[in-house]
Structures are given as structure tokens and as C-alpha cells.
């Protein structure tokens, strides 16, 4: 997974098998104006959700598009990366939330919030 901030766009690109697990071939590109905030935490999972399409292996991976009572969400969360959670709240996009566990150093939430504010 590659998360990038370029100018006024936040881009999430899945690579290799990640694209298959999430059934998401194209990158997710979000303009700065549509990012509300980011948080270094994962939202609680709920049994009131529909996966369409995606993959869920409890305790291992949750990837793809999920419809919840909060709205449409994109998840790519791996149990092995649970120490680096990231939730990005959106408005004016097809996804209301991106829930990720990116590789690399923590700090994405702070970077995104600083970028949003300016």
C-alpha cells in the first residue's frame, strides 16, 4: 500500500496482492477539501455491515468496500500492522471513511491533519 500527499491530493494506491484482496484496481484519490480529519485509531467493527466487494478473514485481514450504518467505507487493515492504524474521515466522496494500516513509520494522522489545515 502506498499513501501519498501530492499538492492538493491524497492518493492511496494498492499494489500486487493487496489489489486482489480489496478487489480495488484503481487508486483512491481524494482532494484536500474532502478530507475532514485523520485519526491514529481504527473504528470499532460492527456486525451491521455488508462487504461488497472485498475480503474478510477474522484476525487476519479486512479489505475492500464495506457498507455500514456510518456509510460506505474502504478498509485495508491487517492484523500484523495493527500497531499503525489510520482512519481518514471524508466528505463529498463516495467513501465516508478510509480505514488503513499502512506500512512504515507511524505519524500519518498528524501529517494528514497538518496538510488539511494548511
pLDDT tens, residue order, the chain (118 aa): 999 999 999 999 999 999 999 999 999 999 999 999 999 998 877 667 788 899 988 889 999 999 998 899 999 999 888 888 999 999 999 999 999 999 877 899 999 999 999 8
pLDDT for residue 46: 67
Residue 70's alpha-carbon distances to 15, 17, 43, 46, in angstroms, are 27, 28, 11, 10
The pTM is what?
Answer: 0.92
Residue boundaries of the structural domains of the chain = 2-117
pLDDT for residue 47: 66
The candidate with the shortest Cα–Cα distance to 35, out of 108, 99, 93, is 93
Amino acid at each position: 500500500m502506498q499513501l501519498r500527499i501530492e499538492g492538493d491530493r491524497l492518493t492511496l494506491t494498492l499494489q500486487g496482492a493487496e489489489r486482489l484482496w480489496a478487489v480495488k484496481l484503481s487508486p483512491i484519490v481524494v482532494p484536500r477539501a474532502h478530507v475532514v480529519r485523520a485519526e491514529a485509531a481504527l473504528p470499532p467493527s460492527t456486525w451491521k455491515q455488508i462487504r461488497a466487494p472485498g475480503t474478510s478473514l477474522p484476525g487476519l485481514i479486512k479489505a475492500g468496500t464495506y457498507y455500514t450504518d456510518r456509510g460506505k467505507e474502504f478498509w485495508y487493515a491487517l492484523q500484523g500492522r495493527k500497531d499503525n492504524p489510520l482512519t481518514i474521515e471524508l466528505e463529498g466522496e463516495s467513501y465516508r471513511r478510509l480505514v488503513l494500516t499502512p506500512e512504515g513509520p507511524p505519524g500519518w494522522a498528524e501529517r494528514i491533519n497538518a496538510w488539511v489545515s494548511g
